[in-house]
Amino acid sequence: MKAINPATGELIKEYPEHDSEQVKNIIGQVHQEHKSWRAVPFSRKSQLMYGAAAILRKNKEEYARTMSLEMGKPITEARAEVEKCAWVCDYYADNAEKFLSDEVIASDASKSFVAFQPLGVVLAVMPWNFPFWQVFRFAAPALMAGNGGVLKHASNVPGSALAIEQVFHEAGFPDNIFRTLMISSRMVEDVIRDNRIVAVTLTGSESAGKNVASIAGSELKKTVLELGGSDPYIVLEDADIPACVKTSATSRMINTGQSCIAAKRFIVVEKVLDQFTEQQVEIIRSMKVGNPLDEDTKVGPLARTDLRDELHEQVQKSIKKGALLLTGGKPVPGPGAFYEPTVLGNVTKGMPAYDEETFGPVAAIIPVKDMEEAVAVANDSIFGLGGAVWSRDLKKAEEVARRVESGAMFVNGLTKSDPRLPFGGIKKSGYGRELSHYGIKEFVNIKTIWIT
């Protein structure tokens, strides 16, 4: 298993893969550890989770550098990602006991209540784009609920995977309550079918989600899927355009555009189309592309050259179908998987930039006549993860937010995940929720207890 720097194409380090016997042993160890871990008091689990948060903050520079080297994340964003992981650890250390306390419900029994009990060992299949955050937003609630976890991370971020495992070890968690499986995708099916695995959570592509859900379904095992997104950013005629442009450009280019909830389709009412387009092109054109370890880099390389090439093909096909290339539009010459920050105008249905998820630094501007058409275009997608609407009329903006078919909508702000709020999508963006009290309850047995 090789970690390759996408900024240079150079090998960082090779890691040995686990064979099938090692995988079975690891799962067995986590399964055995879980039997005692589930009975550990919340106070002790919280103490350990606070410790994990402290280790993340202490080693922030080391972990941020690992992410930047392995998948090209700009170093300032990598540091913020580590901080966010510490936050989610603190959040569940603070709140897990409250979230999972018995819920008393009046009935004709002398006592009836709902208890929330851990399920067992959960498999997490995680992606490379937020190599720490995607894992911790699963692991913190799952471990606090009393579950065990095994991680199959993306093959291009093995250093990040092992670093996360080490965080929990250093914090004092039992050695085998959270383990990393150094395996390729072809071994995932056998792991899912292992009787000691009770459920699966996956963040990744639509195709990966279908495969995992199909296998888990055949075993009657629960899944939570967070898949792709093509988030609409609706810009109404009364929007604060300068504020909108600044936020939406940041949202589109965060993590070099490799975010499921990045702004991807800018649906702009004609009355402000020219103003929005001019300012959007100006700010995106000014973003520095370069070494992700440089403090002033805003756009790093894509995680792999094949991903850059796929993105370029989407751009070229959209242009051939009538999209206007306003800036960018080609790979950056030289080593690394760099792609120019790109803006496409006059994007319409039938173009890849309209119909597909573009996972990279490409913004698609879609003109519409009015609010009604904007909502219709926003909903004209197979995806339904997040989105935003911009308007000075907050009542109207809230109406639009309610009508857009997605798991989240933000008004006059950047779409993001927050430990305090549920996160997840609908349609082909997946199902289930992470974070908040909803997320921690995805992997517990919601048990009714009735006493005569």
Catalytically annotated residues: 226, 260
Percent of the chain as helix, strand, coil, to the nearest 5: 45, 20, 35
Amino acid letter, residue 214: S
Contact 304, 336 (CB under 8 A): no
Q: Measure the CA–CA gap between 174 and 197, rounded to whole angstroms.
A: 18
Alpha helices in 184-321 (DSSP H): 188-193, 206-218, 241-253, 273-285, 305-320
Q: Measure the CA–CA gap between 89 and 321, rounded to whole angstroms.
A: 47
Amino acid letter, residue 173: F
| Largest Cα–Cα separation, the chain | 75
Nearest to 7 by CA among 64, 65, 72: 72
Q: Measure the CA–CA gap between 231 and 197, rounded to whole angstroms.
A: 33
Sequence-distant (6+) residues with CB within 8 A of 24 are: 194
| Cβ-count burial 13-31 (b if 16+ within 10 Å, e if not) | eeeeebeeeebeebbebbb
Pairing of strands 222-226, 197-203: parallel
Nearest to 226 by CA among 240, 213, 215, 244: 213
Q: Measure the CA–CA gap between 226 and 13, rounded to whole angstroms.
A: 29
